[in-house]
């Protein structure tokens, strides 16, 4: 595959094909992921008095299930039909059920009802938006879909560090499974291609836009969010070189 082909936000659906969706939970390890998070999301959402929570990038449903277990009124959204189906199966397996909506974020408000107290977009999903116009459009959708006082939590891998060719995952956060290894097959300032290798010898690639932390914080502010805070691997004080993930917590006044 060439690296200079124009990438678009439309590509995500083709990237989460069934063979990768089937393997996604091997990548995660739900128990270790929960351990790594140490209640971070529940604490922030409860602190904000949130009740209705939209999980915008539900994937296989890890956060939707976990938040439902903590009593939040969750709606799970994803653009991929395969992921939505998997999140339903995982919810049933954990004795939970919640509404699911298959929609592209860019048409979010056409497909959901009412507003939410919180929106989470996690697991480095937002970097699937390659164009700044799409990133702005989606943040505008998220902003409009929040109640006043609502909170948006959006994260991404630490591309500041990856762009300095310093990718090294601790394996303690987000993707904690031992049945897969992740490496960076290509990186420049417009494209990051991750390579996932599974124990059965299969290989998959995911291509995303390597957004910088300051870039997203600025976009959040320009999209009307206030008190934008950054956390590294769920800590306020973090080492910008070694954190695996950066988490932005933004509020709508």
Stretch that binds ligand SAH, among 74-82, 157-165, 197-205, 230-238 (CB under 6 A): 74-82
Question: Is the Cβ–Cβ distance between 246 and 213 less than 8 Å?
Answer: yes
Question: Is the Cβ–Cβ distance between 161 and 169 less than 8 Å?
Answer: no
As a whole number of angstroms, the distance between CA 109 and CA 144 comes to 8
Shortest Cβ 249–ligand SAH spacing (Å): 16
Q: In terms of CB distance, is 21 or 50 closer to ligand SAH?
A: 21
Binders in 91-130 for ligand SAH, by CB under 6 A: 104-105, 122-123, 125, 128
Shortest Cβ 183–ligand SAH spacing (Å): 17
Shortest Cβ 104–ligand SAH spacing (Å): 4
**Which residues touch 223 (CB under 8 Å, ≥6 apart)?**
136, 139, 140, 142, 143
Binders in 8-27 for ligand SAH, by CB under 6 A: 9, 12, 16
As a whole number of angstroms, the distance between CA 129 and CA 154 comes to 13
Q: In terms of CB distance, is 247 or 250 closer to ligand SAH?
A: 247
Q: Extract the tokens encoding 151.
A: 């909170």
As a whole number of angstroms, the distance between CA 106 and CA 138 comes to 5
**Which residues touch 215 (CB under 8 Å, ≥6 apart)?**
none
Query: Is there binding between residue 36 and ligand SAH (CB under 6 A)?
Result: no
Q: In terms of CB distance, is 16 or 72 closer to ligand SAH?
A: 16
Q: Extract the tokens encoding 47.
A: 């602190």
Residues at the interface with ligand SAH (CB under 6 A): 9, 12, 16, 28, 57, 59, 62, 78-80, 83, 104-105, 122-123, 125, 128
């Amino acid at each position: 595959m060439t690296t200079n082909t124009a990438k678009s936000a439309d590509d995500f659906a083709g990237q989460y094909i069934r063979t990768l969706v089937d393997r996604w939970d091997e990548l995660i390890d739900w128990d270790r992921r929960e351990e790594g998070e140490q209640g971070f999301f529940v604490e922030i959402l409860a602190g904000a008095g949130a009740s209705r929570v939209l999980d915008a990038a539900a994937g296989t449903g890890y956060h939707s299930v976990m938040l439902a277990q903590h009593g939040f009124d969750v709606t799970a959204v994803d653009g991929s039909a395969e992921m939505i189906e998997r999140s339903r199966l995982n919810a049933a397996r954990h004795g939970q059920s919640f509404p699911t909506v298959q929609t592209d974020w860019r048409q979010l408000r056409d497909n959901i009802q009412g507003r939410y107290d919180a929106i989470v977009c996690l697991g480095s999903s937002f970097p699937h938006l390659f164009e700044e116009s799409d990133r702005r459009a989606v943040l505008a959708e998220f902003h409009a879909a929040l109640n006043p006082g609502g909170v948006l939590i959006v994260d991404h891998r630490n591309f500041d560090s990856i762009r300095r060719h310093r990718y090294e995952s601790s394996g303690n956060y987000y993707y904690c499974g031992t049945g897969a290894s992740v490496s960076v097959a290509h990186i420049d300032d417009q494209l990051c291609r991750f390579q996932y290798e599974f124990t059965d010898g299969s290989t998959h690639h995911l291509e995303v836009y390597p957004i910088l932390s300051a870039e997203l914080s600025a976009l959040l502010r320009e999209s009307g969010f206030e008190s934008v805070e950054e956390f590294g691997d769920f800590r306020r004080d973090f080492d910008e070189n070694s954190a695996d993930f950066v988490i932005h917590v933004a509020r709508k006044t």
